[in-house]
Amino acid sequence: MSSQNNKPLTTIASLNKLKNESKKFSCLTAYESTMTSKICDAGVDIVLVGDSLGMVIQGNDSTLPVTMDQLIYHLECKGNNNSHIMADMPFMSYATDDLGFENATRLMQSGAHSVKIEGGEWICKMANTLAERGIPVCAHIGLTPQAINRIGGYFVQGRDTDKHDLMIAEAKALESAGAAMLLLECVPDALAESITSQLNIPVIGIGAGAKTDGQIMVVHDLLGISCLEKPPKFVKDFMSEAGSIKEAIQLYNISVKSGIFPAEEHTFF
């Protein structure tokens, strides 16, 4: 497997082009320079500096304890080579519009190319404000880990008719508000397909079937070192089929872009 580290910078425009051409793109989490460089060299399009670091790096049982300063520390680690860097907005870092604008600005000044915000229609105003000021937003709906105490567990979202219809309406509202991307987590395959086909912006999936425009995984899950005793259904251990970390990441990238991953066994129906 050859390195693709000479690929051009991945931008919002290039991700839109991939969607328009019905080409898949790949995303992985990363929290430090060495892993980031390996991910970028493999040709992965988006690197997410995610609040998942609270679980896989800090050992917490949720993402809630992660602070802005901690997220920025990991965001400022070097190693990127032409991938799009997305940064999570940690829990309560966007509790008000003013606070969200201030913290999104901090993330962009620390090296992010876009920010990811969990929430439905209630974040539309913030998405619009940030977009108007040059900050691309990826809206995250479906299973939103920051709301785990309200949800009550890590469950598939959108199976009943009301939530199915609400999620489609929220996705459309977020696009209209100016969101540049949408991330769907733990939703049925048919719902993810419907949302992806109805939106003009790129849609990223995790546990959302194979019909989204892009796929994302936590890199520790990909390497078979998940912090969870039982990894979620949508996780695949690519390390079990590879001879090295480098090969495992390359295999993931190729599998996503060829449509091999996720397969039916990783999909909710």
118, 175, 185, 193: the active-site residue: 185
Contact 208, 189 (CB under 8 A): yes
* Displacement of CA 207 from its chain's centroid (Å): 11
Whether 185 is catalytic is yes
DSSP state of 92: T
Measure the CA angle with vertex 153, ends 151 and 157; round to 5°.
65
Cα 12 to Cα 15, 86, 162: the distances in Å are 5, 11, 32
User: b/e map of 20-40 (b: 16 or more CB within 10 Å)?
Assistant: eeeebbbbbbbbeeebbbbbb
Q: What is the DSSP string of 43-73?
A: T-SEEEE-TTHHHHTT--SSSTT--HHHHHH
Determine how many CB atoms are found less than 10 A away from the CB of residue 152.
Answer: 8
Catalytic residues: 185
